[in-house]
Amino acid sequence: MTAKAELTYLRAGDALPESHKLASDIISFTGARSRIVMPIAPGALIDSKSFAPARAFTAVLAARGICSYLFIVGCISNANPKR
């Protein structure tokens, strides 16, 4: 017996209606920026004795991401429901 796993990649712009494209652009910009900043900033914040500044930085960015989805995007529903 073989099992098949489907991997699905969904961008915010694919799930949001046309009226929310600005939110999609903001999320995409933030995601692109985080892919650049996240490997560099924690490495620069780590001193030889403590990882606390790097952990705090990561926690702040995670909180900003959660707030982005809660307050900018809101409830995500199917833009084109099947009939």
Cα 58 from Cα 65, distance rounded (Å): 11
Q: Which of helix, strand or coil describes residue 18?
A: helix
Q: What is the pLDDT of residue 8?
A: 52
- Is this prediction's pTM over 0.75? no
Q: How far apart are the first and last CA of the chain?
A: 35
Contact by Cβ (8 Å): 12, 28: yes
Rg, the chain, Cα only: 18
- Greatest mean pLDDT range, 8-12, 29-33, 60-64: 60-64
CA angle 11, 82, 14 (to 5 degrees): 10
What average pLDDT does the chain have? 75
Query: Which of 35, 57, 36, 37 minimizes the C-alpha distance to 46?
Result: 57
Q: What is the pLDDT of residue 13?
A: 65
